[in-house]
Structure 1
């Protein structure tokens, strides 16, 4: 997420400084510091302003920087830039709750050995502990996970604001997010999702003015399982659940994948309700789900066999 040099610059910068002053405080060369500032300015974490021939640098108002400042001031004896650089912040993003190295590796998309290398120095300092094969943050250091999440959130906002000023991030992970907007986004990293994407499976749902996009730099298209989870994140009401029932009845969905995706998107309970409903032909249903007869009528409208 951030290099040691970038973190050191962010924790060193106080008020307004010139590149030369920051280089002096960092004890690094002018060229290196100038490149560092350019990278941080591109991320929106620092702002610059020309005053004559000099460039003044200051921290932006990103919430993540407030958290970073609070942590470094409260525990000033700890070299945070060294501890948090590399993959550490990626791993900490998912340590808001105790997790095993295997789960942390899967979620943060790093190798298990990387998880251990990232967390071992924190464990040695008493920042992280391990119990029942799961890593957890010690009391007083929970804000480290919040810091990692805020840094990712800031990055996601910077990404979407290149294309629209009016948006709502509905769900996000370390590297991906689901966004609602009224504007069309054509960048290939933004994959159309939500009601409009059901047309791909010959289910022409009525699309409203709102558009939904899933941002991912690694995914080319959405599986039915992912689309179902997106629909439940967009809206968990009766309409969204009925649409997901149509999709699950109409196409072959890998249930293991669906359950894993549902865990990541925080919709496990809803997905289990849908699967139980289909497996029992509506005999077991929640109050938000239609009767089996109502669902059969809806399915007939879309030429879906149930």
Structure 2
């Protein structure tokens, strides 16, 4: 996430100018400003070009910069760089809906005291308030702060993928992780193969298409069957995919508590519950996209799975 200095730089950078002019505008040294520009260029938020011996800089066309400009111009009396940085953006990412401090801390992976420290200055300025249930809420007119945080994260995820491929679609994302579809192979260690190809890990050789799927995480080095099931449902929730998930759940010992937690995380709660109910009742309780029990038994037999 952005530092206070980076936010300040982005709020004052308008049009194209030299690094020297930008340093003067920021009232900082040329060396500090040069390093700052290099960091922002690496994030894809500013662009540079050489004109003779001077370096020209300008904002990129990132949507996050449009959102930042909109809110800083509309509320120009607020000193935004002092309020928006690091942990504050992490918390704002999850304030698209009212949430209590404990939930914000869990989702943003920070300490609860950090949540309070990040949001207290915003509350002091009337940007957020607390409900009677102790939930933090963005005041009317400031809801776009959460959108800004989410767009910054989305931009960062795009920058990460584009180091490996130009053709891709981000199918799901959270603050620190995302699921991407691409036609290209990605071998970087932070990208874990998932989707149909991953079923071979469990001796379930599904027909692989020309699309590949990867889960990006800087903290995980493997995927559980529960995660794979949820990834499949995010990729495609159609009848065939649900049947493949039934095969996996029948073939592998899946921790159901983890499965339900992952389903909530990926927003596929209802689909997962339908799958579990179907298996528990041997198909007697069947959602519309699930096969007849005899049909599933035939599919399972084809893959050597006991249904």
> What's the TM-score, normalizing by structure 1?
0.98
2:53 matched residue in structure 1: 53
Deviates more, 1:13-22 or 1:205-214: 13-22
Deviation at 1:181, TM superposition (A): 0.7
Q: What are the within-5 Å matches in structure 2 for residues 32-111 of structure 1?
A: 32-111=32-111
State how far apart, in whole Å, the 2-side matches of 1:35 and 1:98 are.
Answer: 38
Q: Displacement of 1:122 after TM fit?
A: 1.0
Question: In the TM superposition, what whole-angstrom CA distance separates every residue of 1:83-107 from its partner, at most 9, and x where no partner exists?
Answer: 0112000111111111222221122
Secondary structure at 2:140's aligned position in 1? coil
Runs of 4+ in 1 over 2 A off after TM superposition: none
Q: Please tell me whether residue 233 in structure 1 is matched to residue 229 in structure 2.
A: no
List per-residue Cα deviations over 1:19-58 (Å, max 9, x = no partner). 1111111111111111000000000000011111111110
How far apart are the structure 2 equivalents of 1:281 and 1:270? 16
Structure 2 residue 260 is matched with structure 1 residue 259: yes
Aligned pair count reads: 306
The reply to whether residue 210 of structure 1 matches residue 211 of structure 2 is yes
**In the TM superposition, what is the alpha-carbon distance from 1:79 to its structure 2 partner?**
1.0
CA distance, structure 2, for counterparts of residue 122 and residue 95 of structure 1: 13
Pairwise CA RMSD: 1.0
Partner of 2:294: 293
Task: Report what 1:180 is aligned to.
Answer: 181
Counterpart Cα distance in 1 of 2:220 and 2:93: 21
Q: Could you tell me which residue of structure 2 aligns to residue 219 of structure 1?
A: 220
Q: Does 1:26 align with 2:26?
A: yes
Does residue 284 in structure 1 map to residue 276 in structure 2?
Answer: no
- Counterpart CA distance in 1 for 2:42 and 2:217 is 20
Aligned equivalents of 2:281 and 2:140: distance in 1?
45
Shift of 1:217: 0.8
Gap regions ≥5 residues in structure 1: none
Which whole-Å CA distance do the structure 1 matches of 2:28 and 2:149 have between them? 26
The corresponding residue for 2:270 is 269
Residue 156 of structure 1: how far off its partner (Å): 0.9
| Structure 1: distance between partners of 2:104 and 2:256 | 22
Give the 3-state SS of the residue equivalent to 1:253 in structure 2. coil
Distance 1:210 1:235 in 2: 12
Task: Give the secondary structure class of the aligned counterpart of 2:278.
Answer: helix
Q: Per-residue displacement from partner, 1:141-178 (whole Å, max 9, x unpaired)?
A: 11001101111111111111111111111111111111
User: CA offsets per residue over residues 202-232 of structure 1, 9 Å max, x none?
Assistant: 1111111110011111110101111011000
Q: Distance in 2 between matches of 1:260 and 1:101?
A: 20
- Using the TM superposition, give the Cα deviation of residue 138 of structure 1 relative to its aligned residue in structure 2, in angstroms: 1.3
Range with bigger deviation, 209-218 or 17-26? 17-26
Deviation at 1:195? 0.2
| 1:87 alignment partner, SS class | helix
Deviates more, 1:125-134 or 1:86-95: 125-134
Compare 226-235 and 271-280 and name the one that shifted more.
271-280
Matches for 1:119-268 after TM superposition, within 5 Å: 119-131=119-131, 132-268=133-269
SS of 2:86's partner is: coil
Q: Structure 2: which 5+ runs fail to align? A: none
Query: What displacement does 1:133 show?
Result: 2.5
What CA distance in whole angstroms lies between the structure 2 residues aligned with 1:130 and 1:217?
33
2:114 maps to: 114
Q: Secondary structure at the match of 1:191?
A: strand
